Amino acid sequence: MGERRWGGCDTEKAGGLQDMIEAVEWQWRADEVAIMKSLRHPNIVLFMGAVTQPPNLSIVTEYLSRGSLYRLLRKTDAKEILDERRRLNMAFDVAKGMNYLHKRNPPIVHRDLKSPNLLVDKKYTVKVVAAVGFKGRRLEIPRDVNPQAAAIIESCWANEPWKRPSFASIMESLKPLIKLPSIQPVCTEMSRVT
């Protein structure tokens, strides 16, 4: 490593810094693996194993055939596939998974709850990817979302954490919405019999 001067200070070439970054990243991964190994809930992605040898550090989880909720929401036929009742059930799945994480001792704080970190199985059950991450920006709530569901979402965005509802509270708020009868389109065309 070559010594240099910058801004009147002695510096060292970044090779040592890269080693330190890799060590910190490895420790973060090891901590994440330890947490994931202990989690067992139907709405948390199941940890299967880990590759612990650099440079191929990776986590192996169960396979969820429908992929991320983010991808599912952007399909052209999303409105037909994800009717209101299914969306509310999916929100309830997320609340159950997050409630499980928050009720652990010590509680697990996700820090990056967003649709790319929610995976969907073949039965449209949503599972939370229990990984620590960074805050992202909020998306706009679509106009066609049930106003009661929109109010729940907005309450979760309170700046002060103590003003946000618990996931147990969210589950209670979603229950009556899930039980509401879905408005189904009525077919008005009748086939002709000749």
Active site residue 112: yes
Q: Return the residue matching tokens 């992202």.
A: 136
Peptide bond into 107 cis (omega under 30): no
Catalytic residue among 19, 93, 112, 144: 112
Q: How far apart are CA 91 and CA 95, in angstroms?
A: 6
Q: How far apart are CA 127 and CA 120, in angstroms?
A: 6
Q: How far apart are CA 1 and CA 51, in angstroms?
A: 31
- Short-list 120, 113, 112, CA closest to 71: 120
3-state secondary structure of 5: strand
The catalytic residues are 112
